[in-house]
Structure 1
Amino acid sequence: MSISDFIEFVEVGPRDGLQNEAVLVSTENKLALINRAIDAGARRIEVTSFVNPKRVPQMADAEDVCAGLPDRNDVTFIGLVMNLRGAERAIASGKIDQLGAVSVATDTFAMANQGQSSNESVEAAKAIITLAQSEGRTAQCTIAASFGCPFEGEVADKRVIEMAVAIAEAGAVEIALADTIGVGNPAHVARLVEHIRREVNPLPVRVHFHNTRNTGLANVWAAVGAGASVVDASLGGLGGCPFAPGAAGNVPSEDVVYMLERAGVRTGMNLQSLIEASNWLSEIMGRKLPGMVAQSPSFPKAA
């Protein structure tokens, strides 16, 4: 295991954190969340998704969120898109710097998530990448259900590797592996991340873990040790997928940053600012959030 001394951090709370919530969060509070993430040091933020509002009501205000984004040349605003229509909406907003495509490793989940087969989801990602390039944007792709499917169970590493190579060859600037339902374990994570990293080198490998079975932080550490250079997290540990049964929250931003920074891995994030933002978000959501660090005494104590 060779740990990098710096890991790029991506805040996904405004999109993945909120998309599965029953209570609709106002555009104003979404923008406040984004600004708090920026103030805490986030320089890549998944701000919204351009999807069918009837299927994902929390993301119905995508264009309004984009209209309210601050002008920051030092921040990359990411918009999640599933198809060319979503990509066109994201580009038309004028505020999205990077398109985030999604491919799914199994047919059943791909059909539930975006109404197409797994192979079709790869082709859709390729088309999104091509459109982004033609419009002067970058695009990356997340492979959902990389470590297991809620419908089909185990997913073969070979399938995920084949998808990653095909998407990388299409011009993606980054490949992300998502444990959409939180079934990954550190050994599997290390093995798959290391293999994908070799196959798509020099593209960075990003990881996206859900903490459904309380293995999220262990999986982050295993992924970093295997060469992943970018980590997604969601403030407070909010998150879930509307189309994946049992997909509970993401790894909490403040918990990930605490773990990495304490281990000597820089993230560019301010932990105290994240804790304050998590406590604020807890008030907005009207409940205690899953993240543990924000609920714990500070350590080490300030002199």
Structure 2
Amino acid sequence: MIDLISITPQALFGQLLLGLINGSFYALLSLGLAIIFGLLNIINFTHGAQYMLGAFVAWMLLDKFGVNYWAALVIAPVVVGVTGVIIERLLISRLYHLDHLYGLLLTFGLALIIQGLLRNEYGVSGLPYAIPAQLSGGQNLGFMFLPNYRGWVIVASLAVCLATWFVIEKTQLGAYLRAATENPTLVGAFGVNVPRMITLTYGFGIGLAAFAGVLAAPIYSVNPNMGADLIIVVFAVVVVGGMGSILGAIVTGFGLGLIEGLTKVFYPEASSVVVFVIMAIVLLVKPAGLFGRTA
């Protein structure tokens, strides 16, 4: 057992900070997955590879062209999102009327191909990506030291997640997107190009993963396995929140990140499995997930 008296405030808040950072990536990635599944009904197993591609594109932009972090934060999601649009048009669009298993197998195979190509080219030792000068250093809060870049990651991911939720749930564009999943023929009758909207939605979901990859690049080394190490946990987050639930992805992503951080303080041995334990409990109690709708 952990001696609670021996746990210092610095250790506790430090792990909570790490939990929030992990939760930021969980939320962004699971949000992209929720959008793609909820609006397109595709289980996208390439999401981890596209998260990794976001980090690699940022690194290549800096290494080959001298493009800084701030520009990469915009360019990389667009570039990776465009590759997602191409994949959707050429491959995934052919599977919309088939069983979910076909989409899962296709995207899983694509993920292995992308990871294998980059692993063959760059190896697995990892490539460094420097923290931008504007975000170097940190703040002494008294009870803990907060690195500026870590704080930026949390704020940026939360802002993007909330903005995405607002667009999908509270705007006319979001209403069209949600209606197109229920009755695409009716939405098309109003003059909306449904196939184009679906393609752009898929590209946006991929762009969210790439955005998370750029945020992660200065924290973790850029390597071909960084997405594979994360995607299983992210799928568990999506299941807990409810497949296709936008709000569920955000709340559960940050919430499970915090729980994981606390577990590392009080029971470190369980920190690697606590998310999956929670997933099992939620599925037993509420199979549709915490925010999911029962069919």
**TM beyond 0.5:** no
TM-score, normalization by structure 1: 0.26
Larger radius of gyration: 2
For normalisation by structure 2, the TM-score amounts to 0.27
Instruction: Answer 1 or 2: which has greater strand percent.
Output: 1
Structure holding more helix per residue: 2
